[in-house]
Amino acid sequence: MPRHLLSIADLNADELAALLKTAERFKKTRYRGSELRGKTIAMIFEKPSLRTRTTLEVATVHLGGYAVYLDAKNVGLGERESVRDIAANLGRWVEGISARVNKHETVSSLAEHAGVPVLNALSDAHHPLQALADLLTLKENLGRLAGVRLAYVGDGNNVLASLLEAAALSGMEVTVSTPVGYEPAGELLDAAGARLVHDPLEAVREADAVYTDVWVSMGQEEESERRLHDFQGYTVTPELMNAAGAGAVFLHCLPAHYGEEVTREVAYGRQSRIFDQAENRLHTAKAVLAHYLGGLAWSG
């Protein structure tokens, strides 16, 4: 049975640590290898992407493999052909599949029927590849993950779900601050031992890192007006950053909607690490490909 990465919960703590260690090594050595020589990965995207598409493709090239980009509309995912049949076809031609999908069930169904590893390149429920880059960035800046105090301010969305799962494995102490009605699932909070407070000022107190993401995720465009109203007061401003711990860093998975979830002043300010975080998407994607498709042992 192939291993999949549909959510961070598909990993255990040792495997998560191994992926980060490999990513650190790849970054340090500007690694180029041949783990994927002669191997092809199919990349299906139902939604737009800059970072995920580019880093998966570049990472594949750095490991000697080849990536085929498939626009889900052209493939007719679930319309021209069932997800099951598309998975069964692709699995006969390629060594791995990454998929960015509207509904998480689609990526689960691809995994069920492909017969090759499937990597979730973002679904409505999870964004595991992002969380790996986030953890690498936190580790680089704070020297550790266990005990790191991370304040997440904004929407209880896919990006937060993966961060919470990562916290459960790494010992990060997460405080979540969302408006009422936008909280993450209780099980995710419980598994991570995370704290939920609705007041962002209280959430960021003594935080080592402040994280936010867009208020309107892809696929939620029709809720824009309501969301922009409901999230008033949750913008990460210089004042909010000043209320965090001294030396706190700011993270955002990007793309950002400046003036909504974060001001430009914070995003381009001295505490921001958003472009290091984006860079780390490449190193962590490469680590995932090397371990999942390239035969690199999990023990490092």
Return residues touching ligand CP (CB under 6 A). Answer: 49-52, 122, 130, 253-254
134 among known catalytic residues: no
State in angstroms the smallest separation of the CB of 172 from ligand NVA.
19
152 φ, ψ (degrees, to nearest 5) = -105, 120
Q: Pick between residue 49 and residue 178 the one whose CB is nearest to ligand CP.
A: 49
By the rule CB under 6 A, 217 interacts with ligand NVA = yes
Catalytic residue among 253, 271, 273, 277: 253
Number of other residues whose CB lies within 10 A of the CB of residue 47: 16
Catalytic residue among 62, 104, 273, 281: 281
281 among known catalytic residues: yes
Cis peptide before 255 (omega within 30 of 0): yes
271 among known catalytic residues: no
By the rule CB under 6 A, 289 interacts with ligand NVA = no
- Order of strands, sheet of 195-196, starting from the edge strand that comes earlier in the sequence: 195-196, 173-177, 149-153, 209-212, 249-252
CA dihedral 163→112→124→177, nearest 10 degrees, is: -30
State in angstroms the smallest separation of the CB of 295 from ligand NVA.
29
State in angstroms the smallest separation of the CB of 47 from ligand NVA.
7
Instruction: Give the SS3 label for residue 103.
Output: coil
DSSP state of 253: -
Calculate ∠ Cα 156-162-167, nearest 5°: 100
- Token output for 173: 């102490």
Q: Pick between residue 123 and residue 296 the one whose CB is nearest to ligand CP.
A: 123
Q: Residue 58: what residue type?
A: V
130 among known catalytic residues: yes
Catalytic residue among 113, 130, 149, 155: 130
Q: Enumerate residues 6+ apart whose C-beta is below 8 A from 169.
A: 8, 11, 12, 13, 16
271 φ, ψ (degrees, to nearest 5) = -85, -10
50 binds, among ligand NVA, ligand CP, none (CB under 5 to 8 A by kind): ligand CP
Q: Pick between residue 135 and residue 296 the one whose CB is nearest to ligand CP.
A: 135
State in angstroms the smallest separation of the CB of 231 from ligand NVA.
13
By the rule CB under 6 A, 213 interacts with ligand NVA = yes
* Binding residues for ligand NVA restricted to 90-129, rule: CB under 6 A: 122
157 binds, among ligand NVA, ligand CP, none (CB under 5 to 8 A by kind): ligand NVA
Beta carbons of 53 and 45 less than 8 angstroms apart: yes
* Binding residues for ligand NVA restricted to 154-173, rule: CB under 6 A: 157-159
Q: Enumerate residues 6+ apart whose C-beta is below 8 A from 25.
A: 31
Catalytic residue among 51, 62, 127, 283: 127
C-alpha atoms less than 13 angstroms from C-alpha of 230 in its C-beta half-sphere: 18
By the rule CB under 6 A, 212 interacts with ligand NVA = no
Q: Pick between residue 94 and residue 129 the one whose CB is nearest to ligand NVA.
A: 129
Q: How far from each other are the two terminal CA atoms of the chain, in whole angstroms?
A: 21
4 binds, among ligand CP, ligand NVA, none (CB under 5 to 8 A by kind): none
- Token output for 213: 């993401």
Residues with catalytic function: 100, 127, 130, 213, 253, 281
**Contact residues for ligand NVA (CB under 6 A)?**
122, 157-159, 213-214, 217-218, 253
